[in-house]
Chain A
Amino acid sequence: MTRHLEGGAQDKENPMMKNTFTKSVAALALLGALPSVAATASYAGALCTSVSGFKTPSIFRSGRLINQTGEAIEVVCPVQRNVVAPTFNENASFLITVRDPHLTENVCCTATVTEPDGTAIASDSGCTSGADTAAPKSISLNLATVFASVNGYIALRCELPGPYAGHQTALSSFYVAE
């Protein structure tokens, strides 16, 4: 009797269970997708700001940043977070495109994850190698643990050497994938 009643109840619940199952699958799919919802963005070098005192680089109309100061300079570039849940993002990759005509010095960049109060907690650094007056070079960086608290931010810092035999270093663009 009891079995019959339970069976009857289950029979009645079948449509509801199907509905619940569908909702559950959808909810789980959404939950699983949340941390992986990532985005990429490309920025012009013009976005970067010099942090080398009065040594200001030139910005070309193309959006490239060129070091025409005659000395080495450092620039800092802000990066917008493009993930739904920044606190759970474990990976951020950078691809920086530069021009490095200097035979002995290199263009070096550092990507940094920083807590909202300004304390840097993770970074990756890389430099170009060799020299090329015409073809651009790229620097690839990877921040393995992008684990800042809520409102933590990412920034890029690059060191551009001075001119070499009349050729100037330049930061053309940078690409960020989170």
Chain B
Amino acid sequence: MSKVRWGVLGLAGATVAAAGVWSLRGDAPMTGVPTTTVAEVRTGPPADLEQEVRALRAELEALRRTQGRLEQHPHAAPVLPVGNAAGKQEEDAEGQDAKPTEEAQRAAQEQRRQERVMELDAELEAAANTEPRDAQWASPTESLVTQSFQGPDFVGSRLARVECRTHLCTLEVEHDDGEAQAELLTSLSRVKGLRGQTVVRPRNEGGRRTSRVYLSRAGERLPLTPRK
């Protein structure tokens, strides 16, 4: 019996020793393979990184949208982010993977567009707040804008605020419906004396439709710096 015990103990000891030796070999630097793996990560093509960044941005955008929906409708079912959807699609055939990628790219593009629009809006807002006031142009232009909103072209829209400086005017407009909001810019461009560049930022917050309008002096450009 004791021989059997010693036999079992011996076998266990031999197993532990073999495992130890094996693990020590595992710790030793490998020739080629790990180094190559690290090198692959370091020298990965930028196009792949770009794609990964876009996918991550798309996922972030999807999460933001989900958060927005949850804030608006707390009981609504959450929408799966793009990453999860892509994860599920991996189980499907390879041919079906193209669709989520396209959607992710589109979402990433939309995210980039919105970020750029925010940059330009900040530029316009900065100019509107810091420009000095040229009273000789600003006062009559404000009067012209105010009078125009009493005309038939602006039915369904109300001018809440107008402020002109030297090169541009800022208008805040409230709308009764989407039709009036959609036609605001066309109506403004028909007013003689308001011939310049115009940018409209329409908003619809809980059914309350408003528009913020930046209008340049006739023949002048809005203070926007385009990317080359």
Contact = CB atoms under 8 A, between A and B. Distances in A.
B120 interface: yes
Interface size class of B (residues with CB under 8 A): 35 or more
Contacts of B45: 20, 23-24, 27
Interface residues of A, number: 45
Contacts of B112: 88
Interface stretch (A40-48, A140-148, A167-175): A140-148
B182 interface: yes
A8 B29 CA distance: 14
A interface SS class: mixed
Contact of B182 (A5, A27, A120): A120
Contacts of A149: 110, 113
Residue of B29, B110, B198 with most partner-chain A CB within 10 A: B198
Interface of A: 1-2, 5-6, 8-10, 12-13, 16-17, 20, 23-24, 27-28, 31, 35, 85, 87-88, 90-91, 108, 110, 112, 117-127, 142-145, 147, 149-150, 157
Interface of B: 29, 31-32, 35-36, 39, 43-47, 50, 106, 109-110, 112-113, 116-117, 120, 178, 181-186, 189, 194-202, 219, 221-222, 224, 226-227
26 contacts: A5-B29, A8-B32, A9-B36, A9-B39, A12-B36, A20-B43, A27-B45, A27-B50, A28-B46, A87-B113, A112-B189, A117-B178, A117-B182, A119-B200, A120-B184, A121-B185, A121-B201, A121-B202, A123-B186, A123-B197, A125-B189, A142-B197, A144-B199, A145-B199, A150-B109, A157-B186
